[in-house]
Structure 1
Amino acid sequence: MNKFTVTYDETYEIWTSLTPSEKALTVSSPVNAALTKSARDKAYQYTRNNYGRSGSGDVSDAFRHAVWNALMCKYISKDWAKAMATAHEDKDAAYFSKVFPDGFTGRQHTNMDLNNNQKGRDCWNVLTDSQFFVSDGDL
């Protein structure tokens, strides 16, 4: 298999992990959804390269969220990045009230993620950071 081949099991696993809001966006634009997954995969790789891990509730988590959003801006649009990243944080009440091992609630994690998503979008400027001028690594 090449790197562009995705099995049925992988597709099903990805689909079932999406929030209802993410599913709606994915159905509305499958091409953007595929580009979003690519941006996500790159963000995970850059995070592991820079921090040696891709954690939760730490600086690596903040970095990953910001990079993911900046890459979605670059390859799709700032509007799509905002819509998809916000949809990704659309959790249920049980998640929001859950206390995680780091002592923070799901609501606190979500608020942090939304802030870091915005930071990633804020660093993107279509006039200076087009696909032709800035590499993904530099972004």
Structure 2
Amino acid sequence: MKMLMGYMAGLLFGLGLAVSGMTDPARVLGFLDIAGAWDPTLMFVLGGAVVTSFIGYRLVFQRAGPIFGERFQLPTKQELDAKLLGGAALFGIGWGLSGYCPGPAIASVSGLTFPLVAMLMAMVVGWFAARALTC
């Protein structure tokens, strides 16, 4: 049941990305183009996600435990370090250059384009590089 709920959450997330237009890299790049044809759509999508998460976390943490799991799995690390900041910088650079972040990129696989393939390949190389650097 836990795996099914994970798939359902992923499906809902992908559907939300598609409905909001966030699988279109031009929309993301339009948001980053503050000096040109600025597109504020991403700001509204992110705002909706923050409000939904804020309310959802308050409701969920009133429970003793998760419905489909044994315990809540929350990050324990709270300090900023070079790995976190470097990873965030690489993520932002990749997002700004391609217009894709991992969720929308995977949700867009059905319409493969060269930029999408290049981004997905770079993401996979990054996974292996991160694993090699942390071992």
Q: What is the TM-score of this pair, normalised by structure 2?
A: 0.26
Q: What is the TM-score of this pair, normalised by structure 1?
A: 0.26
Please identify which structure carries the higher helix content: 2
Rg bigger for which structure? 2
Identify which of structures 1 and 2 has the higher relative contact order when contacts are C-alpha pairs closer than 8 Å and 6+ apart: 2
